[in-house]
Chain A
């Protein structure tokens, strides 16, 4: 873990690794970190063996909820989530796209009921790569390029 510590070590919290470099800030954005009290660092353009350039996000004193992990999976399907306790990785989780994505994606159909009234969005994942999802309400099919996060 020495290499990661060179970015900014955290004592307790979460480190999200193997994010596509270009999406690091987007991942940070959807995690809604505004109210986090601990140290947050976002690193991009890091060299990585497995991918071209990667990004890492470290969040002090925060554990991610399942919902948040799901959102990461939409943008960064190969990311890993490391739970840090006392400067060491206590637990490593691969993010995994669930079969149903709730409250994370906005429906691209402007005439969908979820865009007209207060209803939580629900999408079923029909295909993981390339990503293809279907709105539970209006039945619109969406690919990765149609997806905007809530």
Chain B
């Protein structure tokens, strides 16, 4: 397997299973597993939750963390190239996590660095640790990844988490329900690919029409920063507002996931229902990131 975690597209079905298996083991404490190892966190744009999750994961395995979370205080501000930054930082660490607003940055950093690189988001492209914790959450709460009916709701056009999750779930005979206003539907290239692979999918804008079929509903917010045109964003914000009315139209054990943060697409009244697993999902970032750190450092297989 790749020594780097850059894109979900780099992993086979077997790789994915393997990572999930290690993550499960990481639910238990391994306080000395990465003793003497150092993680560098290079956050060229802020993402507090992701960064904290990596720090916590590394420290709970006995490792150390250094890094920055604000590009304005870093070398990038002085015009240093990402390539050079990676070359310099590799001397201070055993593994690096990078978040960067430019697509393809993690791949470039991985090529520059002799130490493993984990992508914590490269612009609109990839965020593989999110995708893996989504998979882990589905597997954990549904007891399987196979043959599920999965609804994805919200901004499917620009939503990077959705695109990556669809790619990953394509290994597991998923039936997809793409629920979005027509202008924010899944890009045609993804639908063509599913067609080519013979994977079943439906596109729909009205959640109620399909909600009864779903084993999993993956809700995403409509992200302002991904819209090229702010006027376009105004049209669609608040398009979906899920609340307990939804519960009348779903399977008893349907699970609702959300990558968080939410805006107004999901009411808090859903939080205490057995369907809501999004806080558990966020917490699952810990064992998954522990697994990835251990894996790329050769301490788990």
Contact = CB atoms under 8 A, between A and B. Distances in A.
Q: Are A and B co-members of a single complex?
A: yes
A119 B108 contact: yes
Contacts of B102: 111-113, 116
Interface in A112-136: 112-114, 116-119, 135-136
B33 interface: no
Contact of A111 (B82, B83, B108, B123): B123
Interface residues of B, number: 18
Interface string A92-120: 00000000000000000101111011110
Nearest to A134: B9
B126 interface: yes
B105 interface: yes
A85 interface: no
A138 interface: yes
Tell me the interface secondary structure of chain A in the complex: loop
A112 B81 contact: no
Nearest to A121: B104
A137 B108 contact: yes
A112 B189 contact: no
Chain A CB count within 10 A is highest, among B101, B104, B105, B123, for B104
Counting chain A CB atoms within 10 Å of each CB, which of B83, B102, B103, B107 scores highest?
A: B103
B82 A138 contact: no
B125 interface: yes
A138 B125 contact: yes
B7 interface: yes
Contact of A137 (B9, B107, B189): B107
B124 interface: yes
Interface in B80-130: 81-83, 101-105, 107-108, 122-126
Contacts of A141: 189
B104 A118 contact: no
Interface in B14-59: none
Nearest to A137: B104
A127 to B, nearest CB: 11
Contacts of B123: 111, 138
A4 B108 CA distance: 46
Given A118-B81, A119-B83, A119-B108, A113 B103 contact: yes
Contact of B103 (A112, A117, A118, A119): A112
A111 B9 CA distance: 20
A140 interface: yes
A137 B126 CA distance: 10
Contact of A139 (B82, B105, B126): B126
A89 B71 CA distance: 58
B112 to A, nearest CB: 9
Contacts of B104: 112-114, 135-139
A137 to B, nearest CB: 3
Interface string A27-67: 00000000000000000000000000000000000000000
Given A138-B125, A139-B126, A109 B103 contact: yes
Nearest to B9: A139
A117 B112 CA distance: 13
B124 A139 contact: no
Contact of B108 (A109, A113, A139, A140): A113
A83 B136 CA distance: 58
Nearest to B84: A117
The 4 A-B residue pairs with the shortest CB-CB distance in the complex, in nearest-first order: A137-B104, A138-B103, A113-B104, A138-B104
Interface of A: 109, 111-114, 116-119, 135-141
Given A109-B103, A137-B108, A139-B9, 14 more contacts: A111-B123, A113-B82, A113-B103, A113-B104, A113-B105, A113-B108, A113-B122, A117-B82, A135-B104, A136-B104, A137-B104, A137-B105, A138-B122, A139-B126
10 contacts: A111-B123, A111-B124, A112-B103, A113-B82, A113-B102, A113-B122, A135-B104, A137-B105, A138-B104, A139-B7
